[in-house]
Amino acid sequence: MDTAHVRDWLRCSAVLVCGCSDVQATGYGVLLDAGLGNDGSLIADASNNDSSTAADGGDASKPTFGCITDTSAGQHAFTCDGIKYDVSVPAMCASGCGLVLDVHGATMDATMEDANTNMRALGAQHGFVVVQPNANPAPPTSSWNPVTDDAKVFAFLQLAQTAWSIDPKRVHMTGFSQGGMMTFRFLCKHADVFASMAPAAGDGCTFTPGDTPSREVPVLYMHGTKDNLVNFVGGAIPQRNEVVAGWKMGAGQMIAGDASYTRTRYTSPSGTVFEFVQHDYAAKSLVLGGHCYPGSTDPGTAKGQLFPFGCVGPNAFTWGDEVMKFFVAHPK
């Protein structure tokens, strides 16, 4: 959902109390705060102490990279240019691991996103640092602003790649709803950075002049046919068609499915795959309809959470697991 849709939705949701203010857009801020110089180069030890935090307070004896004040293993929180990032660093990932950027949707935060993707645990299992940003303000009114937030999130991603000596062949991105839209925007703007991507319940890369990827990237795309918030026919189908036409892919081949879902693979002449998953599942909330994560066990009890985002079971697959499998299978 874009910000306008979020505002309308939140106003109309009976579960919200009266008096909730609109999401406010913030300014760009200074990219130096994220450790980037004026020429776009990365700066180690850039000063940003006023806006940075670490889960354990950091350690002056350890190297820092701008607002990233602690590169040790564990769960950390860093605030950079007004955005808080939850970062999970497996013990094996002091250097040379991959990285997954995992972005939540409107009304959510990183904790809720992980409850639905399980990406922190999957990252630890497969050797990935997991970066999960938090939109402002706090849930339930959290919402991404593309004009201001895309540049900030991308700047932190670049900084994280340097801080943990990330393998450039294993940088991936996934997102749900507004996070899926950001993932598609990053496909159009930053295709050279990513090995593969997995957007869900969103769109946002038109494959038109000025808004097309610089290279082909393997993509796993999921959308619910009963989605009440991001229309399947008006959003998912055109986005699928734009990818297939843009990369001159042939007819798709169904590689998995049953009565409730299908997974279709399209392949470009150069061998790049685009896999489109559509499902008929629905969330517990009638507001969401099919706007949900298959296989999720999200309890829906996080602070500020409006409703659980997991699909009602039984589901034939678990989205987070399929995303990680796709990332492992598609390094750059």
38: Cβ contacts below 8 Å, ≥ 6 apart: 32
Is the predicted pLDDT of residue 223 greater than 90, yes or no? Answer: yes
More confident residue, 5 or 152: 152
Q: Is residue 73 within 8 Å of 93, Cβ to Cβ?
A: yes
Inform me whether the pLDDT recorded for 9 exceeds 90: no
Per-residue pLDDT tens for 60-112? 446 789 999 999 999 999 999 999 999 999 999 988 999 999 999 999 999 99
At 10, give phi and psi (nearest 5°): -65, -35
Q: Is the pLDDT of residue 195 over 60?
A: yes
- Give me the count of residues in the chain: 332
Q: Which residue has the higher pLDDT, 273 or 11?
A: 273
pLDDT band at 175 (very low <50, low <70, confident <90, very high): very high
**103 closest CA partner among 204, 35, 30, 9:** 204
CA distance 89 to 93: 6
Examine the pLDDT at 31 and tell me if it is beyond 80: no
Higher local confidence (pLDDT), 26 or 230: 230
Distances (CA, A) of 134 to 78, 179, 263: 10, 11, 30
CA dist list (Å): 222 to 111, 122, 127, 314: 21, 19, 24, 17
pLDDT band at 125 (very low <50, low <70, confident <90, very high): very high
CATH for 3-13+32-329 is: 3.40.50.1820
In this structure, the strands spanning 83-89 and 74-80 are: antiparallel
Mean pLDDT of 110-122: 98
User: Tokens representing 265?
Assistant: 């693979």
Between CA 225 and CA 230 the distance in angstroms is: 10
pLDDT for 29 beyond 50: no
3-state SS record for 106-159: CCCCHHHHHHHHCHHHHHHHHCEEEEEEECCCCCCCCCCCHHHHHHHHHHHHHH
- What is the structure's pLDDT at 95? 86
> Tell me: the pLDDT tens digits for 302-315?
999 999 999 999 99
Chain-wide mean pLDDT for the chain? 86
The whole-number average pLDDT for the span 44-58 is 38
pLDDT at 49: 35
> Residue 184: pLDDT band by 50, 70, 90 thresholds?
very high
Furthest C-alpha separation in the chain: 57
The residue whose two tokens read 């693979």 is 265
Which residue is listed with tokens 């769109």?
Answer: 203
Asked whether residue 138 carries a pLDDT value surpassing 90, the answer given is yes
- Is residue 254 within 8 Å of residue 264, measured between CB atoms? yes
Q: Using a pLDDT cut of 70, give the percent of the chain over it.
A: 81
